[in-house]
Structure 1
Amino acid sequence: MQEVSWGSITLVDAEKRLLANALLDFSNERFVLLSESCIPVFNFPTVYEYLINSEHSFVESYNIDTPQSAGRYNRRMAPHILPEQWRKGSEWFELNRELAVRVVADYKYYSIFRKHCRPSCYPDEHYIPTYLHLFHGSLNANRTITWVDWSRGGPHPARYGAGNINVDFIKAIRNNGTQCLYNSKHTSVCYLFARKFAPSALGPLMNLTSTVLDF
């Protein structure tokens, strides 16, 4: 059993181990990292078709001039990672097989993060977005497929429980007004999963599986 600590490089270690084990099954072509507080907002056939037919992987990757983004860059990462190459993104990612192999195989840039990305730099929010931006940007959609509600402010997203779950809520996540690109074409289907849901939401969600979720 490997110890994993929030905000440390051990989260990246865990991600690499998960990917490495999933890669052992040669039939696996797409790899999605979710948490226990995530739910699907479409049924499996829809999710499968969306991912398997995508020309890109889905890793959020951006750099803005804030303490939580550009402010976490450590100048000791130069010359291998320059300030303009630094990226941040959601830790909940989706990778195709080619990129999963490359992330698992990388040691050089992982070592830089292990040495120089320490609190308040969080490796799981920066390592994969930065690595993909450096070498495989054309293969990445630069967006996440996991919806989350930051509208309430603060360091953590909104958390939804049993009282929030109904048909209209799920439909609102699916059709939230967002537009994005999928295989270079505009679409309103941008999120396949959503978070953050409390354990109390499980019962009401199960009641929707044969209707709006169509499981």
Structure 2
Amino acid sequence: MKGALDDFKVMLTRNEPLTGLARAVAFLVIFALGVVAGLWAAAGARQSSGGIVRPSITRFPSAAVYQPSAGDGVCCRPDPDAGFSEFVAPTRLMHDMTDEELFWRATLVPAAATGAQVAFMFLAGHGVLPLAPLWERFFRGHEERFSIYVHAPPGVAINVSEDSPFHGRQIPSQETSWGSVSLMDAEKRLLANALLDFSNERFVLLSESCIPVHNFTTVYEYLVGSEQSFVEVYYRDTKQCRNRYSRRMAPDITLRQWRKGSQWFELARGVATSILTDTRYYTLFRRHCRPSCYPDEHYVQTYVAMRHGDRNSNRTVTHVDWSTGGAHPVAYGARDATPELVRSIRTSREPCTRNSRPTTTCYLFARKFAPDALGPLLNMSAAVMHY
């Protein structure tokens, strides 16, 4: 094929006269050979590539909206009027893609963001956002620099007003259970939907019990200006870490590569995309990281340590108090939500590093705050958190 293409090029560059018709035919042949060669090369690249999700589908799903049906449920259908702007920055989050299709489409988006938004991804396991008024105050006035995604139980609609930044920001969801791989599936679902917006540059995973302990400008500049992601990664010879490892993951994941850390991560776009393209390691977690293993505390941590260790800070930006031991962290109620508590989280006693420089601003968010803590938090937000 290359030889034939070269022959035509030689013919066109000779000084011999060609009729207009002959020259037109020659150009058409060259163009056709070039198209065939390109398709041939693309097919070879697809066959040789590995680790990318490639479902056998022929349609390319577009953005979709909820459409009421005649039955008792709600169905989805593609939006026939979705234009290019909706493709690069979806405003209608409900769609009919399966997880496989969603993850595949999310891997086709740019590795680098075209904007500088921060995606705030809320994993609302109980289907409520009791601290939404505090977050609404935090987001106010910064609408062009953030996007929100909420994963709630199927069939549960988050109860917020139409002027709330949370309104219309739920993504298609599936049931989750604590300690199972379904929780990690939900995290990947949030990541994939957020990646569909080309403007999103950083991705923060939060729960409904999280609060921001700094104002939006501080949080935004801290994340967008960071050279690394924030995934807590460590190894300890304890039953909570070492004993959760399964030898059946070897040789792809060895005990020396096994890691643990906080579920609440923050990722740069390149690392987030890489997680969605992984099928090799996540398959092992799905098979062998069963209850008492807790994939949400090990998969992202192990994968990032193995593949992106130099791009990670090895710490989280979400404060959680595990000092009392047990399966759950300290929960802060109305009496616990004091200015002294929040100030102690805002300024760390032990400094950390950001962009290789020491800082006492180690945490941007904190959990676990109970619904009745909302009142005290709103009362102190202006004076203590500066929003």
> Quick check: TM above 0.5?
yes
Residue in 2 that maps onto 1:7: 179
How much is the aligned-residue C-alpha RMSD, in angstroms? Answer: 0.9
> 1:177 is paired with a residue of what secondary structure?
coil
With a CA cutoff of 8 Å and minimum separation of 6, indicate the structure with the bigger relative contact order.
1
Quote the offset at 1:184 in angstroms: 0.7
Any stretches of 5+ residues in structure 1 without a counterpart? none
Tell me the alpha carbon deviations over residues 130-178 of structure 1, each in whole angstroms, 9 at most, x when there is no partner.
Answer: 0011111000100011111122222211111111222222111112302
> 1:205 is paired with a residue of what secondary structure?
helix
Equivalent of 1:209 in 381, 384, 387: 381
Is 1:165 the counterpart of 2:337 in the alignment?
A: yes
Residue in 2 that maps onto 1:16: 188
Distance, in Å, in 2 between the alignment partners of 1:7 and 1:88 is: 14
Equivalent of 1:144 in 316, 332, 345: 316
Residue in 2 that maps onto 1:182: 354
Percent same amino acid among aligned pairs? 62
Q: Could you tell me whether the CA contact under 8 Å between 2:347 and 2:362 is conserved in 1?
A: no
Is 1:32 the counterpart of 2:192 in the alignment?
A: no
Distance, in Å, in 1 between the alignment partners of 2:291 and 2:321 is: 24
Tell me the alpha carbon deviations over residues 99-122 of structure 1, each in whole angstroms, 9 at most, x when there is no partner.
Answer: 111111111111010001012111
Runs of 4+ in 1 over 3 A off after TM superposition: none
> Within 5 Å, which residues of 2 pair with 1:48-67?
48-67=220-239
Distance, in Å, in 2 between the alignment partners of 1:150 and 1:6 is: 18
Q: Could you tell me whether the CA contact under 8 Å between 2:348 and 2:361 is conserved in 1?
A: no
Residue in 2 that maps onto 1:42: 214
Quote the offset at 1:212 in angstroms: 1.2
TM value normalised by structure 2: 0.55
Quote the offset at 1:200 in angstroms: 0.4
Any stretches of 5+ residues in structure 2 without a counterpart? 1-153, 155-173
Equivalent of 1:134 in 286, 301, 306: 306
> Within 5 Å, which residues of 2 pair with 1:60-139?
60-139=232-311
> 1:42 is paired with a residue of what secondary structure?
coil
TM value normalised by structure 1: 0.97
Quote the offset at 1:128 in angstroms: 0.3
